[in-house]
Amino acid sequence: MDTPQTFEIFLVTVPGLESVLCEEALERGFAGAVAVPGGVTFQGGWPDVWRANLVLRGATRVLARIGGFLAFHLAQLDKRSRKFPFGELLRKDIPLRVQVTTKASKIYHAGAATQRIETALTDTHGLTLNPEATLVLKVRIDDNNVLFSLDTSGESLHKRGHKEAVGKAPMRETLAALMLRQAGYTGAEPVVDPMCGSGTFVIEAAEIAAGFLPGRTRHFAFQDLGNYDANVFEAMKETTTTTPTSRYYGSDRDAGAIRMAKANADRAGVGTFTQFVNHAAGELTPPDGPKGLVIVNPPYGARIGNKNLLYPLYGTLGQTLLTRFKGWRVALVTSEPALAKATKLPWKPQGPAIAHGGMKVWLWQTPPLR
Cβ atoms of 200 and 176 within 8 Å: the answer is yes
Beta pairing class for 145-151 and 354-356: unpaired
Rounded distance between C-alpha atoms, residue 116 and residue 146, angstroms: 13
Rounded distance between C-alpha atoms, residue 365 and residue 184, angstroms: 10
Architecture, CATH, for domain 173-212+240-365: 3-Layer(aba) Sandwich (3.40)
| CATH code reported for the domain at 7-151 | 3.30.2130.30
pTM of the model: 0.94
- What pLDDT is attached to residue 168? 62
Residues contacting 175, CB < 8 A, separation 6+ = 14, 17, 158, 354, 356
- What pLDDT is attached to residue 1? 38
- What pLDDT is attached to residue 205? 98
Three-state SS for 213-231 is CCCCCCCCHHHHCCCCCHH
Rounded distance between C-alpha atoms, residue 246 and residue 191, angstroms: 8
Domain layout of the chain by residue ranges = 7-151, 173-212+240-365
**For the chain (length 370 residues), average pLDDT per consecutive 10?**
76 97 98 98 98 98 97 97 96 97 94 97 97 96 97 96 69 96 97 96 98 96 97 96 95 95 96 97 94 95 68 96 98 95 97 90 97
CA 14, distance to chain mean position in Å, is 7
- What pLDDT is attached to residue 307? 76
- Can you count the helices (H) and strands (E) in the chain? 11, 14
